Structure 1
Amino acid sequence: MKEEPRRIPVATDQDVVRVRQLVRTVAVEAKLSLVDQTKLVTAASELARNTLVYGGGGIVEVYGVRNDFRAGIRIVFADEGPGIADLELALTDGYTTGGGLGLGLSGARRLVDEFTIETAVGQGTTITVTKWCR
């Protein structure tokens, strides 16, 4: 079961801030622990920034989900940018194309419970993350 997503277009730095705020709000509503809220907001901030910087902007959808055992939050980051040419390399700690620390995708992956990427060169990237209540 999942609820209707709350959508935020990501086209500016302010939109990245709005994504962080929305994720924090939904995480509190879902009763994630403070530690898990922080992990999810950190991952969402990094992935929203990547959507803006590398994907040229896109859309973020945030919604609550539930399985047979627990509630959680799922976030989908989608862009129509250039895609990721070498996904394995992009998921390697220390790899960066932007002069940062290179912990973006790999760091975000470690902060959530589920992490999937669909990407194709010239067709964009969709990253879906889920954090479950403990």
Structure 2
Amino acid sequence: MLAWEHGYKIGQWEMDAEHLILFSLLNQLDININADLADECIYDVLAALDAYIDYHFAHEEALMKAWDYPHLESHSALHHQFMNEIARLRELVKGGDTVRGALKVRGFVLEWLLNHIMETDVDYARFIAEKSKKSSA
């Protein structure tokens, strides 16, 4: 299981809260895999992940747009790559290999979340913090 740590915060409280929810979804999948319930939960987890990721990405991109973040387009492209990989993994699960698919979803989302938050999201959060500081000075 992945424990939320202070170091995962990017300093944008709404995004941090949404990232925490994504961690929770991932942990729910992990709990079900460890309880040999991957077959029963993978479709629900994928549906929840789809719905919440759509919401989160739209919210995050709106925030970047509102602050005129110069790398919005490349950041958005990363979001689309994530969604494409989730779609590919969904097809693997539909192919009947639910346990393997659940493990792949868990591994992919875990790696992606950590890398995306700690590298890509930190960049726009820094940009917004600096711009906010300049506009309030």
Q: TM-score range by the shorter chain?
A: 0.3 to 0.5
Greater RCO (CA < 8 Å, at least 6 residues apart) = 2
Larger radius of gyration: 2
In terms of fraction of residues, the more strand-rich structure is 1
TM-score by length of 1: 0.39
TM-score by length of 2: 0.39
